[in-house]
Amino acid sequence: MQIYNSLTRTKEEFRPIEEGKVKMYTCGPTVYHFAHIGNLRSYIMEDVLDRYLRYAGYEVTRVMNITDVGHLTSDADTGEDKMLKGARREHKTVLEIARFYTDAFFEDCRKLRIRTPDVVQPATGCIDDFIKVITSLLEKGYAYTAGGNVYFDTSKLEKYYVFNDFEEEDLAVGVREGVEGDENKRNKADFVLWFTKSKFDAQELKWDSPFGIGYPGWHIECSCISMKYLGEYLDIHCGGIDNAFPHHTNEIAQSEAYIGHPWCHYWFHVHHLNTTSGKMSKSSGEFLTVSLLESKGYAPEVYRFFCMQSHYRKSLVFSYEGLDNAKAAYQKLVARVASLKADGEVDRRAFEDLKAGFTSALDNDMNTSLAVTAYYDVLKAGTNDSTKLALIEDFEQVMQLGLLDAVKALREEEKAKAEPSEDDRWILDLIAARAEAKKAKNYAEADRIRGELSEKGIILVDTKEGTTYKKA
Ligand code: AMP
Ligand code: ZN
């Protein structure tokens, strides 16, 4: 399997450190608000990678953090703590906010068929681990104290800007966002490991530490949580492309300074979902969530399907028009799968040939849009329906488009249309009573029943085969 590694900027053959086993880390959400569908694009594409590795036979251990402290409004240590901002907005405590939005995040993931990682670890549960690593970085001379805070000294590294796409100019991001710089920093790129005396006096959650009462910077959590559960060697680290700098750059800096050797082999970055007017936002424009899409009649699976149709390394523009196209294509696909009828033995040869089309798409740096095409190849192939159904079931282990559940729902809907439901039983009883009345030539009673039903919006239709009804 070939996978693009942002660190080397090339597609590489995927080889985990330990044969057959994959250690995978994912940057989790900052739980100060609902996730927008851009955030969820990253988690959907990471989910396909996770599932595909398992499908390919690897034993995957995947760890994800939950950021519930330390992530400031600018990724470069400036602005205010996002959690505090969220708590203030809703007149709640930080812990209440964290709990509520963590649950909301996993509810969105469930709807989008995203597998929950094997370990999910909130940052606030690992403060001792952060303190241990920060203490060691201070001892080794990779960190310094200034103005009460502890900073990582990026000048101590041979190479800090490990992702070539990012350079010093990108640090201007904080300035662009209209927040002031930090005079305590020795070098522009230095970043906070631990805040004590800072402008965030209102910070709700603080912990005692050898560096003073305070709280951790954002980046330290991912290094520590990853190493705690996965050890000193990591196979794949995932996140949205905005995480590459400064977040992942800082994770690499502090992890490798701490362990003294290279840390993670493959860096998997999902490019952004943008709106037609630019960057997706939680605070301006329409706040696009899974629930909003549902309220407009788009099933979460339709959004997953929309994401699958483009490559994770290309930015994707969201529009309702695009989503409508995805919805129409999805419904057609469901109808085509629904028309398949199990009709005998699976043709193993055809199965393997068609499966090869699917795996070669995903083996080529997770080409999900070609993997979607593999479904259509199956549907039009000259093999029996049982083979087609077996293939679709097989692909669904990875793609999770929810096709088989959608087919089941469609069949139930059709059945419900054909046979009246229990709720309509009273109508049938009245129709039977009317037929009895007619038989007994009691036309007044028969008309009364017709009138009673008509008042309730039920129109009777007498046919040669008997009486049916429609709802007005
Ligand atoms: P956050 O909750 O801000 O920590 O972000 C959660 C994840 O969403 C991270 O992996 C981000 O890199 C990713 N992300 C943020 N914005 C977008 C976007 N517009 N499209 C795709 N991924 C995004
Ligand atoms: Zn992270």
Residue 112 lies in a domain: yes
Same domain assignment for residues 7 and 141: yes
**Ligand 1 centre and the CA of 39: distance in Å?**
4
Q: What is the pLDDT of residue 462?
A: 86
Same domain assignment for residues 211 and 80: yes
The C-alpha atoms of residue 206 and residue 389 are separated, in whole angstroms, by: 55
Q: Is the pTM of this model over 0.85?
A: yes
Q: What is the pLDDT of residue 173?
A: 44
- Ligand 1 nearest-atom number relative to CA 247: 12
Q: Which CATH number covers residue 136?
A: 3.40.50.620
Find the residues whose C-beta lies inside 6 A of ligand 1. Answer: 27, 29-30, 38-39, 41-42, 67, 239-240, 242-243, 270, 272-273, 280
Same domain assignment for residues 308 and 398: yes
Q: Which residue has the tokens 């796409």?
A: 165
The C-alpha atoms of residue 351 and residue 389 are separated, in whole angstroms, by: 10
- Ligand 1 nearest-atom number relative to CA 315: 20
Same domain assignment for residues 457 and 396: no
Residue 340 lies in a domain: yes
As to burial, measured by CB atoms within 10 angstroms (0-12 exposed, 13-18 middle, 19+ buried), residue 136 is middle
**Ligand 1 centre and the CA of 307: distance in Å?**
14
Same domain assignment for residues 86 and 185: yes
Q: Which domain range does residue 191 map to?
A: 2-270
Residue 41 lies in a domain: yes
- Ligand 1 nearest-atom number relative to CA 274: 19
pLDDT higher for 462 or 229? 229
- DSSP track, 382-425: SS-HHHHHHHHHHHHHHH---HHHHHHHHHHHHHHHHS--GGGH
**pLDDT of 174 over the 60 cut:** no
The residue nearest atom 5 of ligand 1, judged by CA position, is 29
The C-alpha atoms of residue 66 and residue 28 are separated, in whole angstroms, by: 5
- DSSP track, 181-246: --TT-SSTT-EEEEESSSS-TT-S--B--TT-SBEE-STHHHHHHHHHHH-S-EEEEEEEGGGIII
- Ligand 1 nearest-atom number relative to CA 280: 19
**Ligand 2 centre and the CA of 237: distance in Å?**
9
Residue 275 lies in a domain: no
**Ligand 1 centre and the CA of 147: distance in Å?**
31
In this structure, which ligand is nearest to the CA of 220? 2
Q: Which residue has the tokens 């398992």?
A: 54
Average pLDDT of span 33-50: 98
Q: What is the pLDDT of residue 388?
A: 98
**Ligand 1 centre and the CA of 418: distance in Å?**
46
In this structure, which ligand is nearest to the CA of 217? 2
Question: Per the structure block, which two tokens stand in for 408?
Answer: 């089941």
Backbone angles phi, psi at 60, to 5 degrees: -100, 135
Residue 284 lies in a domain: no
pLDDT band, very low/low/confident/very high, at 270 (cuts 50, 70, 90) = very high
pLDDT higher for 202 or 396? 396
The C-alpha atoms of residue 263 and residue 132 are separated, in whole angstroms, by: 18
Among positive and negative, which fits the CA dihedral 201, 206, 26, 114?
A: negative
**pLDDT of 83 over the 50 cut:** yes
Same domain assignment for residues 204 and 163: yes
**Ligand 2 centre and the CA of 302: distance in Å?**
28
Non-local (6+) Cβ contacts of 285 within 8 A are 275, 277
Q: Which CATH number covers residue 341?
A: 1.20.120
What is the dihedral angle through the alpha carbons of 224, 114, 328, 379, rounded to the nearest 10 degrees? Answer: 120
Q: What is the pLDDT of residue 172?
A: 47
- Ligand 1 nearest-atom number relative to CA 316: 20
> Of the spans 290-304, 403-417, 429-443, which averages the highest pLDDT?
290-304
CA angle 323, 109, 378 (to 5 degrees): 55
Same domain assignment for residues 211 and 350: no
Same domain assignment for residues 123 and 164: yes
- How do residues 139-155 score in pLDDT, each as one tens digit? 999 999 999 899 999 99
> Which residue from 24, 30, 39, 75 has its CB within 8 A of the most atoms of ligand 1, so it is best to mutate?
39
Query: What is the 3 state secondary structure string of 2-64?
Result: EEEECCCCEEEECCCCCCCEEEEEECCCECCCCCCHHHHHHHHHHHHHHHHHHHCCCEEEEEE
Same domain assignment for residues 198 and 335: no
Count of domains in the chain? 3
**Ligand 1 centre and the CA of 308: distance in Å?**
17
Residue 278 lies in a domain: no
* Cβ proximity of 317 and 38 under 8 Å: no
Same domain assignment for residues 169 and 70: yes
Q: CB atoms < 10 A from the CB of 341, how many?
A: 9
**Ligand 2 centre and the CA of 379: distance in Å?**
41
Residue 83 lies in a domain: yes
> Which residue from 64, 69, 242, 243 has its CB within 8 A of the most atoms of ligand 1, so it is best to mutate?
242
Q: What is the pLDDT of residue 201?
A: 64
Same domain assignment for residues 326 and 467: no
Q: What is the pLDDT of residue 169?
A: 52
Same domain assignment for residues 461 and 377: no
The residue nearest atom 12 of ligand 1, judged by CA position, is 240
Q: Give the domain-ending residue among 417, 436, 461.
A: 417
Residue 286 lies in a domain: no
Q: Give the domain-ending residue among 371, 393, 417.
A: 417
